[in-house]
Amino acid sequence: MGEDELWDDDIAARYDTPGEGMFAPAEVDPAVARLASLAGGGRALEFAIGTGRIAVPLRAVGVPVSGIELSGPMLARLRAKADEAAIPVVAGDMAHATAPGEYTLVYLVFNTISNLLTQAEQVACFRNAARHLVPGGRFVVELEVPDLRRLPPTQSAVVFGSEPGYLGLDTFDVLNQRIVSHHFTFDFGAARQARLTRSPHRYIWPAEMDLMGQIAGFTLESRHADWSGTEFTGDSAKHVSVYRLPL
């Protein structure tokens, strides 16, 4: 299944959860504040802009934002919030599509780079970011750290989330650095029925991602465990990494 097929009308309709989950102010506000600071008064480009979870509030604080988005249904949800004049978007994939103009900031949030399923595509994404940036421009990536310590020997699946009406399960292919996330939702009024959605990912180790940055001409400027600047350690579950082009 390609990315354009994965992010279909059904997923797009259920993606936004205003004020909750990844749309909660505690998740959105620190990301917007950090990105606005990194933009330095210039223009920002979001790869895989989706429904505008970050782009809409980022524009609201005065940062001109453009986007690249592969999914038509996700873009339609964004258009209900902001028109083309407010947030211009190019239809295409983040590894190759080109947005007009130059930017001081390109960013990718919420593990989206892992939706590219080969190392070559992920390197192409870094190169595409560099192509859009002015000298000294920054590329920001938010990504989970693969926690293979959860994976017992000989076992290829672990539960990552469990709550009433929901079960999340990851299956691992450690040879090819692949994860498939399985999301089961249950209707307790129909005990024999469950809804399943799946999303494939290629996980990236931080050191591997740094090498991707070097290939594209970047140096690592900073890495933190979250958008608020918490120190990144060996126990951090994710990282926000800032790469910069030379001046």
pLDDT tens-digit readout, 51-60: 999 999 999 9
Which helix (H) or strand (E) element contains residue 132?
A: helix 119-132
**Token pair listed for 156:** 């290829």
The torsion angles phi and psi of 222, rounded to 5 degrees, stand at -160, 160
Of 186 and 216, the structure prediction assigns the larger pLDDT to: 216
Q: The domain at 3-146+204-244 falls in which architecture?
A: 3-Layer(aba) Sandwich (3.40)
Taking the domains of the chain in order of start, what are their residue ranges? 3-146+204-244, 148-201
**Token pair listed for 68:** 């690249």
List, as one string, the DSSP characters of 150-205.
GS-TT--EEEEEEETTEEEEEEEETTTTEEEEEEEEE-TTSTT-EEEEEEEEE---
Angle between helices 119-132 and 206-215 (to 10 degrees): 50
Residues 52-99 have pLDDT tens digits of 999 999 999 999 999 999 999 999 999 999 999 999 999 999 999 999
